[in-house]
Structure 1
Amino acid sequence: MKELTKAEEQVMKALWQIERGVVHDIIAKLPDPKPAYNTVSTIVRILETKEFVSHKAYGKTYEYFPIIAKKDYSKFYLSNFMDGYFGGSFKNLVSFFAEENNLDVNELNELITIAKKDSNPTGHE
C-alpha cells in the first residue's frame, strides 16, 4: 500500500463516506472551494492505478468505489507515522501526547484501558 497525497486522501475520504458514486457525487462531498471536475477525475484515475479505487462502467459513466477500507488505510498510515516520528513505539507516542496535552492520571489510565481492549479483543487477560 502507498501513502496518499493530501488531495488523494480528500477524495478517498469522500468515497469512503458515500461508498459508491460518480465524480459529481465525490465533488459534492469535498469542502469549498470545490475542485474542478477534471481535477477530481484525474485524482480518481490515479487512485485506480494505486489500487485504492475501482469502477463499474454504465456506458460512458463510471461509478467509483473504494477497494481499500478506511480502517486498513488508517492502520497503514498510523504505523508509518509511528515509525517515522516515534520509532514505532506506542509508548513514545502516548508519552509525547501526554506531555504536550498535559494529560492527567485518569486520562492516561483510560488510554491504557483502551489499548488493552484493542490488543486483546476477546477480553481475556
Structure 2
Amino acid sequence: MKELTKAEEQVMKALWEIERGVVHDIIAKLPDPKPAYNTVSTIVRILETKKFADHKAYGKTHEYFPLIAKKDYSKFYLSNFMDSYFGGSFKNLVSFFAKENDLNINELNQLIEIAKKDTKTSNDE
C-alpha cells in the first residue's frame, strides 16, 4: 500500500463516505471551494492506478467505489507515522502527546481504561 497525497486522501475520504458514486457525488462531499470536475476525475483515476479505488462502467458513466477500507488505510498510515516519528513505539507516541497536551494523571488513567476495554473487546472477537 502506498501513502496518499493530501488531494488523494481528501477524495478517498469522500469516496469512503459515499461508498459508491460518480465524480459529481464525490465533489459534493468535498469541502468548499470545490475542485474542478476534471481535477477530481484525474485524482480518481490515480487512485485506481494505486489500487485504492475501482469503477463499474455504465456506458460513458463510471461509478467509483473504494477497494481499500478506511480502517485498513488508517492502520497503515498510523503505523508509518509512528515508524517515522516515534521509532515505531506506541509508548513514545503516547508519551509525546501526554507531554504536549499536558495530560493529568486522571486523563492518562482514562486512556489506560479505554485501551484495556478495547483490548478485551478485540480478544473476545
TMscore range, shorter length: over 0.9
The gaps in structure 1 that reach 5 residues or longer are none
Aligned twin of 1:25: 25
Helix, strand or coil for the counterpart of 1:65?
A: strand
Superimposed CA distance per residue, residues 33-76 of structure 1 (whole angstroms, 9 cap, x where no aligned partner): 10000000000000000000010100000000001000000000
The 2-side partners of 1:113 and 1:52 are apart by 35
Per the TM alignment, residue 114 of structure 1 is displaced from its structure 2 partner at its CA by: 2.2
Amino acid at match of 2:19: E
After TM superposition, the score normalised by the length of structure 2 is 0.94
Q: Does 1:97 align with 2:101?
A: no
Percent of pairs with identical residues: 85
Q: Does 1:10 align with 2:44?
A: no
Q: Does 1:45 align with 2:61?
A: no
Say which is worse superposed, 41-50 or 102-111, in terms of deviation: 102-111
Superimposed CA distance per residue, residues 92-125 of structure 1 (whole angstroms, 9 cap, x where no aligned partner): 00000000001111111121222233344236xx
The 1-side partners of 2:7 and 2:19 are apart by 18
The gaps in structure 2 that reach 5 residues or longer are none
Per the TM alignment, residue 31 of structure 1 is displaced from its structure 2 partner at its CA by: 0.5
Helix, strand or coil for the counterpart of 2:8?
A: helix
Cα RMSD for the two superposed structures = 1.1
Aligned twin of 1:122: 123
Helix, strand or coil for the counterpart of 2:54?
A: strand
After TM superposition, the score normalised by the length of structure 1 is 0.94
The 2-side partners of 1:34 and 1:20 are apart by 19
